[in-house]
Structure 1
């Protein structure tokens, strides 16, 4: 059975005209010999009548203290509405279709309300409906716990649903349809000549997604990677191929003889505060252990961590900075704070084991007068921390220096 997963975001379903267009894409897949399994998000965004945030804000207007169990029941409604409407649209065009909730689709999760993890998928119900000639439409973003409770999967949950179903059904491909053409080398609002990437590896897109690119959730990529199922990030509104996410050895379309490119893209996260603590000035025993344990107990997420015998550095989101400061001051620690910073990530599988990549980054930023406040690296990513006021200049410099723009394609 040739299963094809097609996931459509809320902006693709916001009007009847768009839903008709989506239905035609689904029917085209059937005509090409696929068995499409369609994953839908809630219709629209905050302010639209059936968007999840709209429903949630309505409940919060009654009482701000919603139990997480009831919150999950409420937040699952948007995808159910969307799924039923999509089934009706497909049937109006003369094809058989059936809607399944996450539970009916066999998505079993843990008990963590509002941010559940998928434990397993039983696709037997989907397979039976597909054998009966029906197009299966599944509510994204939701599942059911082993105790029978409705759960939701957190941010990017519909992408996660699509990937989990793709793995369970051994699908030929997972199509993520969005309102953009594909994954880009940088934010086009910052870099004018940012271009769409034809192909990226699983590891590259995970890094891009973790570090600010919001086209697909990294959890979804990690699930698909387990079975090497290709993902295509495509536009609902055009026929372009978009971006293929696959293993390092595969290519998309024309073979690119420059696959050893050092960098694939530049992404960013802004609105972070750097904490810098001199170990010599800390009077507590085992300072790093005390610091990180105390912040964890306060439920403060930290990032960009550097620990040496002389200094401890890390970042937190700007909105968590004062809370983190209070925790440290309670330990008798007085850190240096540098608010309004931005973390910039240069990502590329081609940089693994290549000498001099950091030197190039330093050169590009130095020539633009951008100070590096902190840096770190992995096999596929080099991160630098800069002042937010220098963020756009730094992104453009790195994008240009690594020849990622549309004018340099293939160079």
Structure 2
């Protein structure tokens, strides 16, 4: 039995006309001989009646800080609504279909309400229906603890559901349908000549997602990677095959081998503030470093882009954490320099490791556009550049052009 998992995002399910298109996509895959598991998100986006954010706002009108357990209860309703509607539509089209909640699909999680992790999947019930030629529709974003408590999986949870089910049932491929063509070399709203990538590695797409690209959740990619099940990022609205995510770009079929592609894409994260702390007393440096980062951790403040030098500590926090971070530092009698309204631009490419000249090109691109580099850092697949938010779009365009990402190799 060849199985495909198809995940449809909220924008793909928001109207009757769109649900009709989703049904056509499911039926086409069925006609190709696939057994099909469909994972659905809540319909629409914020301010639309059944979107997850709308449901959250509904309960917060009654209680600004509802218990996480009860919040999970209402947040899970959006996927149940969209799954029930889609299943009813398929049955009206004379396609044998059944709808499962996360619990009914056998998705077992830990008890971390609002951001639960999947522990394992028991797909027995899914297989029973697939073997009887049913399309199985599953509510994404939700599961149940071993004690029977309903949980939700956090942002991107429906992607995670699709990958976990794909791994559990040994799917041929996991199709993530969304409102974009696939993964681009840069945000097309910023870079006009951003290009669709035919293929990308698991590691590269994880890095792009973690650094700001929102096409697929990195947790979903990591789960699929465990069993080397290909992911395809596709548009609900076209017949394009989109972007294939796999271990090796040479594994994909009908594509050019991009042997010279050092850089895969450019992405960004905004609304960041840089904090710089001068260390005057070098001999107490280690103690000061420990106090700073331990105090920030205890205050539940996430820090990023950390650079520790003998006489200087630099790191970034998101804008909405800045005031709290400064209060923590003030309690330590530390008064840092601050650079607000920054953006982190990330250059991602699995092939850049050990290749000389990448940073030189980055500096050349930024210098040509008179962009000040506030801070930089790197890993084996990433180089990060911190710039002023006002320079962010210019920096993304400059780097995209410098590495010729708009050109098909």
Check whether TM > 0.5: yes
Partner of 1:242: 242
Partner of 2:72: 72
Shift of 1:139: 0.1
Q: 1:249 to 1:53 in 2, by over 3 A?
A: closer
Match of 1:61 in 2: 61
Shift, 1:65, TM fit: 2.5
Deviations 1:45-64 (A, max 9, x none): 12222111112211111222
Query: Which range is displaced more, 62-71 or 85-94?
Result: 62-71
2:367 aligned partner:
366
SS in 1 for 2:160: helix
The question of whether the paired residues in 1 share the 8 Å contact of 2:143 and 2:153 is answered with yes
The answer to whether the aligner puts 1:409 opposite 2:390 as a matched pair is no
Cα deviation, 1:169-203, whole Å, max 9, x if unaligned, reads: 11100000000001111111111111111111000
Q: CA separation in 1, counterparts of 2:363 and 2:220?
A: 33
Q: Tell me, what secondary structure is at the counterpart of 2:343?
A: strand
Residue 170 of structure 2 aligns to a residue whose secondary structure is coil
Secondary structure of the 2:39 match is strand
The answer to whether residue 172 in structure 2 is matched with residue 172 in structure 1 is: yes
| Root-mean-square deviation (Å) | 1.2
Q: Secondary structure at the match of 1:245?
A: strand
Is structure 2 residue 257 aligned with structure 1 residue 254?
no
CA distance in 2, matches of 1:190, 1:100: 40
3-state SS, counterpart of residue 87 of structure 2: helix
CA distance in 1, matches of 2:111, 2:402: 47
1:9-28 matched pairs, under 5 angstroms: 9-28=9-28
Query: Which residue is 1:45 aligned to?
Result: 45
* Superposition map of 1:103-122 within 5 A: 103-122=103-122
Give the equivalent residue in structure 2 for 1:84. 84
| SS of equivalent to 1:272 | strand
What SS does the corresponding residue of 2:189 show, helix, strand or coil? coil
Deviation of residue 333 (structure 1)?
1.2
Displacement of 1:20? 1.2
Which residue number in structure 2 is paired with residue 157 of structure 1? 157
Contact persistence 1:47–1:53 (CA under 8 A): yes
Instruction: Pick which of 157-166 and 362-371 moved more.
Output: 362-371
Tell me, in whole angstroms, the C-alpha distance in 2 between the residues paired with 1:245 and 1:279.
Answer: 45
Is the alpha carbon distance of 1:92 and 1:395 closer, same or farther for their aligned partners in structure 2, counting shifts above 3 Å? same
Q: Partner of 1:346: helix, strand, or coil?
A: strand
8 Å CA contact retained: 1:69, 1:113: yes
Deviation at 1:264, TM superposition (A): 0.6
Corresponding residue SS for 2:61:
helix
In structure 2, distance between residues paired with 1:55 and 1:389: 35
Kept after mapping to 1: 8 A contact 2:277/2:314: yes
1:104-149 deviation digits (Å, cap 9, x = unpaired): 1010000000000001111111001111211000000000011110
TM-fit CA distance, 1:16: 1.1
Change (3 A) 1:257 1:104: closer
d(CA) in 2 for partners of 1:225, 1:259: 22
Q: Which residue of 2 aligns with 1:382?
A: 383
> Contact between 2:249 and 2:258, CA under 8 Å: does it hold in 1?
no
How far, CA to CA, are the matches of 1:160 and 1:215 in structure 2? 13
Following TM superposition, by how much is the alpha carbon of 1:285 offset from its aligned partner in structure 2, in angstroms?
6.0
| In structure 2, C-alpha distance between the alignment counterparts of 1:178 and 1:321, rounded to whole Å | 33
Which shifted more, 302-311 or 220-229? Answer: 302-311
Structure 1 residue matching 2:58: 3-state secondary structure: helix
**Residues in 1 aligned to 2:335 and 2:145: alpha-carbon distance in whole angstroms:** 44
1:318 aligned to 2:319? yes
Q: Does structure 1 residue 356 correspond to structure 2 residue 367? A: no
C-alpha contact 1:199 1:251 (8 A) present in aligned 2: no
Comparing 347-356 and 148-157, the one that deviates more: 347-356
TM value normalised by structure 1: 0.97
Normalised to the residue count of structure 2, the TM-score between the two structures is: 0.98
Residue 285 and residue 260 in structure 1: after superposition, are their counterparts in 2 closer, same or farther (change >3 A)? Answer: closer
CA distance in structure 1 between the aligned counterparts of 2:8 and 2:162, rounded to whole angstroms: 10
